[in-house]
Amino acid sequence: MPQLAVGLPFSTEIMFRGFSTETPDGDPIKFGGFGAKLGLTQFIPVPMFPIALSAGLYGTKVNLADIVKVNNSIFTLQASFSVPVLTLYGGIGFESSDMSVEVKDEAGESLYKFDLSGDNKTRSTIGFRLKLAVLSFHADYNAGTYKSYTAGIGLTLR
């Protein structure tokens, strides 16, 4: 998933991700998201070096051919510990999600429709990032209603 994150003053960061395409029939497929993270360590008067604290808010929207629509949002509290080239991190997130599915006939009349709310309410994460020059590699484990592993590669220009 293409993602762009921009670091701003005062330990803030904004993120955008997404793509758009269409099915062979010309129906839209859209995936988009946003995020914002604020470094909290700057507001704590006691030096916590080498631990950094932050809070983040992220959202994702998915539209599959105007049939399936998904929304997800999460608020996170994160802690990290960094040494040259390696960052260990963990956190907790409070999230919500919903999905709507509607199939229509050619006249636009609804043939089938249902809505679901996600069971996910909290998620904990633990992981690491390895930064080698401008390349970053990360992997983490997420535990909540559903367990998942993620990994990625990125370009970091800082």
Question: Tens of pLDDT along 12-34?
Answer: 999 999 999 998 988 899 999 99
Residues of the chain with pLDDT under 70: 158
Which helix (H) or strand (E) element contains residue 136?
strand 135-144
- Rounded to two decimals, what is the model's pTM? 0.83
Question: Taking all residues of the chain, what is their mean pLDDT, rounded to a whole number?
Answer: 92
From the centroid of its chain, how far is CA 52?
19
- The domains located in the chain, with CATH, are 3-155 (2.40.160)
Q: How far apart are CA 4 and CA 96, in angstroms?
A: 23
Cβ distance 71 to 98 under 8 Å?
yes
Predicted pLDDT at 158: 66
